[in-house]
Homo-oligomer: A and B are copies of this chain.
Amino acid sequence: MKPLNIGMIGYGFMGKAHTNAYKQANNFFDCEYKPVLKALCARNRDKAEGFAKNWGYESIETDWRALLKRDDIDAVDICTPNNLHKEIAIEAAKAGKMILCEKPLAMNTAEGEEMCEAVEAAGVPNMVWYNYRRVPAVSLAKQLIDEGRLGKIFHYRANFLQDWTINADVPVGGAATWRLDAEAAGSGVTGDLLAHCIDTALWLNGGIKDVTAMTETFVKERTHADTGEKIPVTIDDACSFLCHFNNGSLGLFESTRYARGHKALYTLEINGEKASLRWDLHDLHRLEYFDHADDSIVRGWRSIHVSDGDQPYMGNWWVPGLQIGYEHSFIHQVADFLKSLESDAPFSPNFRDALETQKVCDAVLASAKQRVWKDV
């Protein structure tokens, strides 16, 4: 067992999700490397200490530059708001640290390019936390597509629907709601939600050629969480786009935080010549599958309960019929990352993969702004 010393930057929702994954991965997956919770870094010392104590981090730092200087840190996990990703990642690369960066990769494509160059120049292993690829049902979808079960693809559609910002009293900015602040987040639902849909789409269905998009900000002003001031809302509350994939199929994407009744409803569907697939995050342990090769009188959408040992990742968990949850996607990502270190193979998605998603996001935002089709 080789220790892999983790330096975690941030202690929010994602800090918790990643840390939990580091703690559990080796109990369920057989890996040579084992993450060690070496240091937790956050500006607020009290919060850093509280989080470190709860999760068992051995030490804390309040300055990420100090963290990067430490010899006992092998890998840095960047869980800060998006506007800090670039600087930290580039410095970490220079310091020779492996980097596990929360998505989206960057504020925009230009930043992402710099980050890719930095990690490639440094030759450090790097990955981005597009965790939904490793929900077993989604991994199974990938496997079925790769096996050619769908045939030629005609349609891909995905959306990510939430409803938590309908209330105009939700503030913007600060620690809890920086995702509503364009300064910190870069964009609204495009980078936060659509980026997930795009990453999975590129993985399952290949590159996107061009897009026509529409964005909207329904609530125009909100109170700043820290200052209490009414300020204009600068992010996109909703974003949808049509696109052509390189393989000739048509795409349709939508995300919003104003879809009453949907909490985190990421759905995707792929229609191929021979079969179709669909999945949604609210029942993430199921994959819907329609196989046109079935006898015509008994043809129908199958609801596959992805919990059998021969389905991706599930042999490492419980027994058939017993479902896993959201957090397991992170555990799988950690386990796969650890295995990639053993074999020295590049991890996917890495910075370069995530840059492709960034490019689509940028094209989408530009198309929406200019009301024209944009090539990616």
Contacts and interface: CB of A to CB of B under 8 A. Distances in A.
Interface of A: 13, 17, 20, 23-24, 26-27, 54-55, 140, 143-144, 149, 154-155, 157, 161-164, 166, 212-214, 216, 218, 238, 240-242, 244, 248, 250, 252, 254, 256, 258-265, 271-276, 281-287, 289-292, 294, 296-305, 307-308, 310-311, 317-328, 371-373
13 contacts: A13-B319, A23-B24, A144-B297, A154-B166, A161-B271, A259-B276, A260-B273, A264-B322, A281-B321, A297-B308, A300-B303, A301-B303, A302-B302
Contacts of A244: 214
A197 B212 CA distance: 21
A301 B299 CA distance: 11
B300 A305 contact: yes
Contacts of A286: 283, 300
B276 A260 contact: yes
A289 B281 contact: no
B291 A155 contact: no
B271 A260 contact: yes
Contact of A154 (B149, B259, B290, B307): B259
Nearest to A19: B27
The 3 closest A-B pairs by CB, nearest first: A263-B321, A264-B321, A261-B290
B263 A320 contact: yes
A194 to B, nearest CB: 13
A324 B321 contact: no
A322 B325 contact: yes
Nearest to A289: B298
Given A218-B154, A318-B327, A325-B325, A292 B54 contact: no
B322 A250 contact: no
Contact of A55 (B27, B260, B290): B27
A373 B304 CA distance: 40
A264 B155 CA distance: 16
A154 B238 contact: yes
A282 B281 CA distance: 15
Nearest to A307: B263
Given A155-B258, A216-B250, A296 B310 contact: yes
A23 B26 CA distance: 13
A321 B238 contact: no
Nearest to A312: B297
Given A297-B143, A310-B297, A326-B318, A240 B252 contact: yes
A326 B282 CA distance: 15
B302 A262 contact: no
A212 B242 contact: yes
Nearest to A239: B250
A320 B264 contact: yes
Contact of A324 (B27, B240, B294, B326): B326
Given A259-B155, A321-B262, A325-B323, A297 B282 contact: no
